[in-house]
Structure 1
Amino acid sequence: MDYATALTVVESFMSEVKSSLANQEPVFLRGFGSFILKHRAEKTARNISRNTTVIVPEHDIPAFKPAKEFVASISKLKNI
């Protein structure tokens, strides 16, 4: 596979992951992991430079959770 083809495949995959997460749908890749949304509650933070309090609203953030098989295979490589 040449570079241009690989780039097209990866870019289209990431585009599908982004659109799925935008629609609140997780993406599962068996044996690799899951792209999910994590919900963060509203919190109070500090702006140190201005010495003020800022309210950070609740929001969702994208996250990746690796599959157990993937983690196990990486652990085996580390021990070699």
Structure 2
Amino acid sequence: MNKSELIDAIAAEAEISKADAAKTLDAFVNTITNAVASGDSVALIGFGSFKASARAARTGKNPKTGEPLEIAATTVPKFTPGATFKAAVAK
């Protein structure tokens, strides 16, 4: 499912216009992005939680030459699915 299909599904499920569904989806994504970027976590009970996770520096390997290279430490977004979401997908 791509973004336009998701907007169509949200509009049908919530019985709102596609424009309102698009605004709502954009606001949802922006709010979660801003919260996680500022170090907060977002927990949606039953669905899952979004948080920032630190990734340590490590040594990698250049696939062309095989030479070792240093990969810098970084912070990445992480999603952990909730129990209800896991159960729905497992069916």
Q: TM-score range by the shorter chain?
A: 0.7 to 0.9
Bigger helix fraction = 2
Higher relative contact order, structure no. (Cα contacts within 8 Å, ≥ 6 residues apart)? 1
Runs of 4+ in 1 over 3 A off after TM superposition: none
Residue identity (%): 28
Q: After alignment, is 26-35 or 44-53 more displaced?
A: 44-53
The answer to whether structure 1 residue 67 and structure 2 residue 82 are counterparts is yes
The answer to whether structure 1 residue 52 and structure 2 residue 48 are counterparts is no
Cα distance in 1 for residues equivalent to 2:53 and 2:21: 29
- Residue 50 of structure 1, CA deviation: 3.7
RMSD, aligned CA: 1.3
> Aligned with 2:39: secondary structure?
coil
Unaligned runs of 5+ in 1: none
| TM-score for both structures, normalised by structure 1 | 0.84
Unaligned runs of 5+ in 2: 1-15
Bigger strand fraction = 1
- Residue 54 of structure 1, CA deviation: 1.4
- Residue 35 of structure 1, CA deviation: 0.6
Cα distance in 2 for residues equivalent to 1:27 and 1:36: 7
| TM-score for both structures, normalised by structure 2 | 0.75
